[in-house]
Amino acid sequence: MATNSNDSNDRIRKASEFIPKLISSMENVLVGQHQLIERLLIALLSNGHILIEGVPGLAKTTVVKTLAGLIDARFQRIQFTPDLLPADLIGTQIYNPRDGHFSTRKGPIFANIVLSDEVNRAPAKVHSALLEAMEERQVTIGESTYPLDDLFMVLATQNPIEQEGTYPLPEAQMDRFMLKISVDYPSWDEEREIIRRSARTARTSETEPVIHPADILRARAAVDELYLDEKIEQYILDIVFATRDPSRCGMERLARYIDFGASPRGSIYMAMASKALAFIRGRSYVVPQDIKEIAPDVLRHRIITTYEADIDGMTTDCLIAEILANVRVP
């Protein structure tokens, strides 16, 4: 048994050899964003999408462009604006008067990594165009359906809802994001380093690819093989069910603050993301600490709070922290 465990760890370490190089290359460009970088890799390895929220100027777009530049794959940046149309994302059919036929012109969604920049500055009809692509990994234009590549990932950035000119994302779309990351201001030392690196008129050189899509697909296959014990599965379910009915889980105080809890996607994505985190750490199995680390990012956008929560200042992060503190760790 110990020999099998050692062999599994060796295979994982070999399959994850590119991870330190990828993290190092990103940290050469970005300052003080290690957790964000790690979460981007988790989504990449889990075949998931990620939503990054923060006020303007916190390098949200830069971190996505840097990751895309380090992967030898097709990258598209879509700037979301109030006048954007669904056809601007997925494409449209164009009529050719010469032969009397329609031809399909594919949109920028047909890429490996899609940056949806300031995604909440476009209205709901534009967001609906992303739903099929994010979930079914296909796009329907007219009467034809086109599959997307195996490596397809939406990395969206958004400003807080309180900012001017923003629209709240539909719940159905929010649920399709595996992770939601909140980016805060850098520390004093980190911002000093940012000034030293970036306060210059000359543009920095473009990043060179260090991995290929085939490397990512092989790593995903290795992530799928990681061991997830039944006790860890029960731990995930206990956390998710506590978001739906806290009173039945011994947390009556939280019941008045939660209107709706996490969907089954929350359970699925927590299991997948915890495996990816274990893979990044070089382990062939998931431990409870992996769940604790990833749970806030998986659940943050899946819990809908009540009016009482807003009055008492109980944010989703506060609720998740209290749930994690009360659910028994295996």
* pLDDT for 2: 47
For the four alpha carbons of 307, 309, 313 and 314, in that order, the dihedral sign comes to negative
* pLDDT for 49: 94
**Residues 113 and 153 sit within 8 Å (Cβ to Cβ):** yes
Burial class (CB in 10 A: 0-12, 13-18, 19+), 280: buried
The shares of helix, strand and coil residues in the chain, as percent rounded to the nearest 5, are 50, 15, 35
Residues across the chain: 330
User: Which strand (E) or helix (H) includes residue 285?
Assistant: none
Q: What is the pLDDT of residues 220-279, one digit of tens each?
A: 999 999 999 999 999 999 999 999 988 888 888 898 999 999 999 999 999 999 999 999
**Residues 232 and 330 sit within 8 Å (Cβ to Cβ):** yes
**Residues 307 and 324 sit within 8 Å (Cβ to Cβ):** no
Q: Is residue 100's pLDDT more than 80?
A: no
pLDDT above 70: percentage of residues in the chain: 95
> How far is 20 from 71, CA to CA, in rounded Å?
14
Q: Is residue 1's pLDDT more than 50?
A: no
Mean pLDDT of 291-298: 96
What domains are defined for the chain?
19-84+110-197+211-217 (3.40.50.300), 226-326 (1.10.8.80)
Mean pLDDT of 80-84: 89
* pLDDT for 161: 65
Residue-averaged pLDDT of the chain: 87
Q: Is residue 202's pLDDT more than 70?
A: no
Mean pLDDT of 202-209: 68
**pLDDT band of 4, cuts 50, 70, 90:** low
* pLDDT for 143: 82
* pLDDT for 137: 92
